């Protein structure tokens, strides 16, 4: 059935990635994540090479664990520690993917291994980030938008026919219309090429 | 120093909470989380009582683990499982807090025990949710905004004086000006009442 069935990281990743520097103070990194509405960021060195990943919980821990007594409400008399830097709280040697990694592998890493965010690298440079939220975005597409995408994909691959009715409910597409010798192939094609479609129901063989 | 030093959950929580129903299909819950830009939601029953919490990774697992072969690209020939419901993938008996829980306890739970989101309950009803992002929001307040809040808090508590200079850098407030017998108390007060201020530097004793 060919490569058309494979969904690649470049189709779902956020790009360019919002990065933080290893020498950034924890507080600055908190603002970067918060302002950009992300839960983790790749960490780069002065040559823009990937050296780690830093997440919300790493940063919150960095802000609150510096001083065992430090909380949102530290006593003003506490000795003043130096501000902590991202490199002290980040995860080193993060798992990475490339733009051509199959999305199924990303799902294995995120759902199976509970990795939240994966930097996407090309030639040692960070070109994007793929997060749980990016997968959520794909799955959250409204049914009507998915329906239009399926109709468009059908038209693109079969410009000379296939006047099938298409309905989509909760990400499951149903095609109805006259029989077609490539019906199974078409169903596979749609499931593989329209992000957010998780299943294509067997075609009802009409008259 | 009194209750004024305690920051409470009601000051940082998101309210009202976006909830999902235990009988919602996983796909619908994915849309609810995605559309509301949240990473977890309290799960309620038909009487609006809290029965669990469901997170992004619970839902992604629910969407992808239903069928061992199911991925973003399932074969169209796969047998069709019934849509999974939130109650099948949620975390039951979640840890909860109340509106008057001290935020320091929330930090212990989130940073120490890696809990991402805590439902806030009153009389068995969910009145809010406090997430890592809510703590990030507090810590991400710009220094100039924090400075204005400190000045305002000083004016409120000491309307008849205290013309101190206030600077804030990375969440650390520095007060400078003439000596004052209650200087330490004032510093504690500010650290405890201005969300985002993590430390107040000892006052420089001016002339």
pLDDT beneath 50: ranges in chain A: 1-5, 66-78
Structure tokens at B59: 């839902």
Identical fold for domains B3-139 and B143-205, yes or no, is: no
Interface test with A, best of B39, B70, B73, B182 (most A CBs within 10 A): B73
The owner of tokens 């020939």 is: B77
**For residue range B126-152, what is the model confidence (pLDDT) as tens digits?**
999 999 999 888 888 888 998 998 888
Beta bridge partners, B40, equal: B55
Which of A61, A107, A114 minimises the CB distance to B72? A107
Q: Write the pLDDT tens digit of every residue in B72-120.
A: 444 444 455 667 899 999 999 999 999 999 887 898 898 878 888 999 9
Phi, psi for residue A7 in degrees, rounded to 5:
-95, 130
For B37, the token pair is 């830009």
Nearest by Cα to A26 from A80, A62, A64 = A62
How far apart CA A29 and CA A125 sit, in angstroms, is 20
Report ipTM for this prediction: 0.73
Looking at residue A85, what DSSP letter applies? B
pLDDT per residue as tens digits for the range B17-71? 999 999 999 989 999 999 999 999 999 999 889 999 999 989 988 877 644 434 4
Contacts of A76 (CB under 8 A, 6+ apart): B184, B187, B188, B191, B199, B200, B201, B202
Q: Which residues of A touch B133 (CB under 8 A)?
A: 34, 39, 56
Cα distance between residue A63 and residue B90, in whole Å: 30
pLDDT band at B188 (very low <50, low <70, confident <90, very high): confident
Domain edges within chain A: 3-139, 143-205
Phi-psi region of A158 (alpha: psi -120 to 50; beta: other; left: phi over 0): beta
Separation of alpha carbons A169 and A173, rounded Å: 7
Task: Identify the residue among B35, B72, B202 best suited for mutation to test binding to A, counting A beta carbons within 10 A and taking the highest.
Answer: B72
HSE of B78, CA atoms in CB hemisphere, 13 A: 20
Is residue A110 within 8 Å of A136, Cβ to Cβ? no
pLDDT of B19-30, one tens digit each?
999 999 998 999
Q: What CATH class is the domain A143-205?
A: alpha beta
| Contact (CB<8Å) B73/A202 | no
Output the pLDDT for position B161: 65
Assign domain A3-139 to its CATH architecture: Roll (3.10)
Which of A60, A75, A192 lies nearest to residue B111, judging by beta carbons?
Answer: A60
CA distances (Å), origin B133, targets A36, A149, B171, B179: 12, 33, 17, 38
């Amino acid at each position: 059935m060919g490569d058309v069935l494979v969904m690649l990281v470049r189709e779902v990743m956020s790009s360019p990635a919002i990065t933080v520097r290893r020498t950034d103070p924890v507080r600055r990194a908190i603002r970067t994540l918060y302002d950009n509405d992300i839960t983790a960021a790749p960490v780069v060195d002065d040559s823009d090479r990937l050296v780690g990943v830093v997440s919300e919980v790493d940063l919150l821990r960095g802000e609150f664990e510096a001083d065992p007594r430090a909380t949102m409400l530290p006593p003003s008399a506490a000795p003043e520690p130096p501000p902590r830097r991202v490199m002290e709280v980040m995860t080193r040697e993060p798992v990475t993917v490339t733009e051509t990694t199959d999305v199924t592998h990303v799902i294995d890493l995120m759902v199976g291994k509970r990795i939240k965010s994966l930097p996407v690298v090309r030639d040692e440079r960070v070109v994007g980030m793929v997060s749980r939220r990016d997968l959520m975005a794909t799955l959250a597409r409204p049914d009507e938008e998915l329906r239009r995408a399926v109709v468009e994909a059908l038209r693109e691959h079969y410009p000379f026919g296939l006047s099938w009715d298409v309905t989509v409910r909760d990400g499951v597409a149903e095609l109805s219309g006259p029989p077609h010798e490539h019906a199974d192939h078409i169903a596979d094609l749609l499931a593989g090429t329209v992000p957010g479609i998780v299943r294509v129901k067997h075609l009802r063989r009409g008259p």
